[in-house]
Every structure is written in structure tokens, then in C-alpha cells.
Amino acid sequence: MIDSEETNFEREEEEIAIGTLERYSGSDVSEFQPYLLLTNFPKYVQYFASSRDLPIVEGSMFSVAHSPKEKVSILDFKIGSPAAALIVDLCAHLPIKASLLLGMCGGLRRHYHVGDYFVPVAGIRGEGTSDFYFSQEVPAMANFLVQKAVTNVLMEEGIKYHLGITHTTNKRFWEFNPDFKARLNATRPQAVEMECATLFMASYYHKLPLGALLLISDLPLSPKGIKTKKSAQDVYSKYTAEHVELGIKAIDELDNLLKLEEKGVFRGKRRKFEDQLND
């Protein structure tokens, strides 16, 4: 009886999630490809679509473009940890193999430069949203195989990148908050942004392999390093194409790794922890 009730609940959850995704994205779920690029930036979706002569589909919240040839969909889910949790909760019900975030972050080390790439291995859970998935003792980790594909591509392309921990916050305008900056100093992350820890926790909960390739867009702890309207425009104009194309190459690399039956990616229904222990 309990199993039947759980099955009905899961079926209802899936139906609502699919309906919500179609409404928010304006795209039928059958159009979504095996791999999903997530981004916060409409310009990334616009570049992806225009460079491949694809239409952009606009829903009530998201914009998305699909490339069956490359087996990739790209979706702009907006900004912040609640939006990050929502998109994983919805897309986890699709038969996608893995997802990669193409986002931006503030670099917190003196030797970092705007335009460098940052590959987060984990995120400090400073946003609060991830608490809905797991208690605080569970670390927010990026999927290893997805990040391996990302670093393989960066090395093959000869592109400099940094590895480390990012602090995910739910406060965008923190740069003038001394207490928050003191917290960054105490916890020693290498970058700061607003989505990674949530994405890592939500995807771990849903068993959706997910990683991130971040572009360092500003150096908020440096003098005059805070992002401005002009500097943001400069970053878009210089790095949008490269960032998106690296994401596509990382997806292709991940697809090849999966063909070789590399371990580290598992897609399946969530099960009770007790059942997994008994496997």
C-alpha cells in the first residue's frame, strides 16, 4: 500500500514538473536533448542560437534553444539559488544524461584575472536553499566526471584555469558588507557566486550529474574590481562565444567518456537510503 502511494506521488510530481517546465520554457519536453547547458545569461542563448541558425523559444520564465545535431539544449534559468533549485527539480524528470552550468563568478585571489576560467570542485552552502535537500553536513560537490570532461577540454585547448571552492551566497550586493567579506576571509573560498552549491545539492538529490565551468567576470575584493555596467558589457563581448563553445566541447568530451563506460555518472529514480545500503 505504501509503495503504491509513493508511486502515485512520484507520478504526480513528474507530471507537474513536466507541465511546469513546458510552461516556463515554452518548449515541449520532447525537444530537450540528452545534454543540458544551463546559464544565467540571455546573451549565451542568443549566441548559441544565432551561431547555429536555431530558433529561441521563450516561455513565461526561461528562454531555451535546442540543437539535435549536437545533442545539446541550452537554457537561461535567470539568477539566484531559488531559480537554480527550480530548474534542477524540473529537468531532473527529463531523460537527460548530464548538465553543465556556464556561469560567472567573482575571483577572490590576487593572481586571478578577469577572463580566467574557474572550475569549482565544491561550493560552500551559504545560500540556504540547499538545506531543503540535505542537512549541512552533506558537502555540495560538483560531479567528478563532468568536471573531468571540462578540464580535459581546457587542457587540450591550452586555456588557463583555476580549481577550487566557490562560496554560494543568496545576497547579490554583498561587496559593501564588512561582515560578509570577513566570512569570505575566514572560510577561504577561491570564488563567489549565487548558484553552484544549490545546483550541486539539488542534482545530487535527483541523481542528475552536473558540473560547472565558470568565467571570472570581476575581482570584487580588489580595488576598483567590482563589476560595473561597462565592465560587464566588456566581458560579454570578449568571452561569450568562447565560453559557450567550450561548454559544447565539454559536453562532447563527456559523451565520449560515457561511451567508454567511464564511472561517475548515474541516472535513475531516487530510492530510499535503506534500499541503497542493501544493494
Query: pLDDT per residue over 152-196, tens digit each?
Result: 999 999 999 999 999 999 998 999 999 999 999 999 999 999 999
Mean pLDDT of 264-279: 45
In this predicted structure, the answer to whether residue 265 has a pLDDT above a threshold of 70 is no
Mean pLDDT of 191-207: 98
Residue 275 lies in a domain: no
Q: Which residues contact 73 (CB under 8 A, 6 or more apart)?
A: 31, 32, 33, 35, 36, 37, 64, 65, 66, 67
What is the C-alpha to C-alpha distance for residues 150 and 37, in angstroms, rounded to an integer?
A: 13
What is the C-alpha to C-alpha distance for residues 102 and 95, in angstroms, rounded to an integer?
A: 21
Helix/strand/coil percentages in the chain, nearest 5 = 45, 20, 35
Contact between 92 and 206 (Cβ < 8 Å): yes
Look over the chain and give the mean of its residue pLDDT values, rounded to a whole number: 92
Greater pLDDT, 31 or 274: 31
Specify the pTM: 0.92
pLDDT at 8: 80
pLDDT at 275: 40
Residue 134 lies in a domain: yes
Residue 267 lies in a domain: no
Q: Which residues contact 132 (CB under 8 A, 6 or more apart)?
A: 85
pLDDT at 7: 75
Mean pLDDT of 21-49: 97
pLDDT at 11: 87
In this structure, of 42-51, 80-89, 138-147, 263-272, the range with the lowest mean pLDDT score is 263-272
Residue 36 lies in a domain: yes
Residue 87 lies in a domain: yes
For residue 254, give the CATH number of its domain: 3.40.50.1580
Residue 136 lies in a domain: yes
Classify 164 as helix, strand or coil.
strand
pLDDT at 271: 39
> How many domains does one find in the chain?
1
Residue 59 lies in a domain: yes
Q: Which domain holds residue 5?
A: 1-260
Mean pLDDT of 198-217: 97
Residue 29 lies in a domain: yes
* pLDDT tens readout for residues 56-113: 999 999 999 999 999 999 999 999 999 999 999 999 999 999 999 999 999 999 999 9
